[in-house]
Amino acid sequence: MGGMKADEKQASKDQFADDPNTRLFLSSDAGGYGVDLPMANYLISYDLPWASGKLEQREARIIRLSSEFPHVTIATFVMQGSIEERQYEMLQQKKLVSEAFIDGKHHDQEKGLQITLDSLSSFLRESTV
């Protein structure tokens, strides 16, 4: 979608929304800006951005109050043992840091992770290695 004009983007979105034979909407991260897809209920990411904000932007395209579905499924493919695995971990940490900044504190019950000044400092030291 990055090389498309605004009217071409809208035509693609309309086709995805209205044509029952169009079941796949393929987009780069350029499609993550200004394109809401409440008619979609699956998002599959085959590559990861380096910025957590871009990942949140990508996911927010289908997670909308106007969504036509009560649930959406987001799948992110990450190859085990690759740099993507570390990249994914960093994105998750950045997301927790962002949530902690907004909420003032954060504790993830599932992972037993608590964001503190010490854990944040440790994370930042590890990510520069």
Q: What is the DSSP string of 20-55?
A: TT-------GGGGSS---TT--EEEESS--SSHHHH
Residues sharing a CB contact under 8 Å with residue 71, sequence separation 6 or more, in sequence order: 41
Identify the pLDDT of residue 115.
62
Q: For 105-114, write each residue's pLDDT tens digit.
A: 555 555 555 6
- Does residue 21 have a pLDDT over 90? yes
Tell me if 32 sits within 8 A of 57, measured CB to CB: yes
* pLDDT confidence tier of residue 2, bands split at 50, 70 and 90: low
Task: Indicate the pTM of the whole model.
Answer: 0.64
Question: Worst-scoring range by mean pLDDT, 18-27, 60-69, 105-114?
Answer: 105-114
Instruction: Say which range, 9-18, 35-44, 117-126, has the weakest mean pLDDT.
Output: 117-126
